[in-house]
Chains A and B, each alone.
Chain A
Amino acid sequence: ILRPRARKLGLGTAYIHGMKHATGNFIVIMDADLSHHPKFIPEFIRKQKEGNFDIVSGTRYKGNGGVYGWDLKRKLISRGANFITQVLLRPGASDLTGSFRLYRKEVLQKLMEKCVSKGYVFQMEMIVRARQLGYTIGEVPISFVDRVYGESKLGGNEIVSFLKGLLTLFATT
């Protein structure tokens, strides 16, 4: 069932829009441009049942998770940013900027209320706040096949706003 919106309105409001129409107890968030493959959804569900987790996060960095279509520079930026994040925030999850996740519906609602940032930092903030609130997080390795459709948006601006957001989280959580 597709619930389209008038135009591009941003990721946060997209989550809220989706939640309004969701009828189940759990919500899976993922990219729709096929970089996230639906075949992983049963694994998320299985993992959630295994540990009764509040959140199951897809990770590109552990197990047989990985990426396709990234050059060395992109991989370096990814690993470097993740390393800095791990040192500063010690979040207890290996992939903080990934957006392929399963949430308990009430957990997603609660987190949406608390999160204030945008973009990559938003995904990080979700995990950090979840930790603060004592929610449990499980991980599932996923493969991220870089955009078959659409254009990627990792430029200098993105990096600067990522660092600003990271420092904000560092100082406020």
Chain B
Amino acid sequence: MTKLGQWLCGLAVLGSAWAALALAPPGLQLATPYRQALLPLPVYLLVAFGCYSLATVGYRLATFNDCEEAAAELQEHISAARADLRRRGLRF
């Protein structure tokens, strides 16, 4: 199954469970507090996911390694390599 397929299945299962419990016709309804909590749940989850995304990307952005030593080392290697090649007769 494709990832899209997995997402659609998952959403279908969760969606129908939510609809069955939160939008049930009178007579099959849960007690009022439960219905009141269940009804806005999808929006809450969406917002929660949005916050999680921002926090995660922000954290990863802040902890993105800056390899200063790698850059300095590379410059050294380049000059060493050029000197070596020049010695062997290569002209730049």
Tell me the A residues contacting B by CB distance below 8 Å.
Answer: 34, 37, 60-61, 64-70, 72, 75-76, 78-80, 82-83, 87-90, 143-145, 148, 169-173
Contacts and interface: CB of A to CB of B under 8 A. Distances in A.
20 contacts: A37-B74, A61-B60, A64-B65, A65-B65, A66-B64, A66-B66, A66-B67, A67-B66, A68-B66, A68-B70, A75-B61, A76-B57, A79-B60, A90-B3, A145-B67, A148-B74, A148-B75, A169-B3, A170-B3, A173-B3
Contacts of B65: 60, 64-67, 143
Interface in B54-87: 56-57, 60-61, 64-68, 70-71, 74-75, 77-78
Contacts of B61: 72, 75-76, 79
Contacts of B64: 61, 66-67, 70, 75, 78-79
B32 interface: no
A83 B53 contact: yes
Contacts of B53: 83, 87
Contacts of A37: 70, 74, 77
Given A68-B66, A68-B70, 15 more contacts: A37-B74, A60-B65, A67-B67, A68-B67, A68-B71, A69-B71, A70-B64, A75-B61, A79-B61, A83-B56, A83-B60, A144-B67, A145-B71, A171-B2, A173-B2
Interface of B is mostly: helix
A143 B70 contact: yes
Nearest to A63: B65
Contacts of A144: 67
Contacts of A89: 3
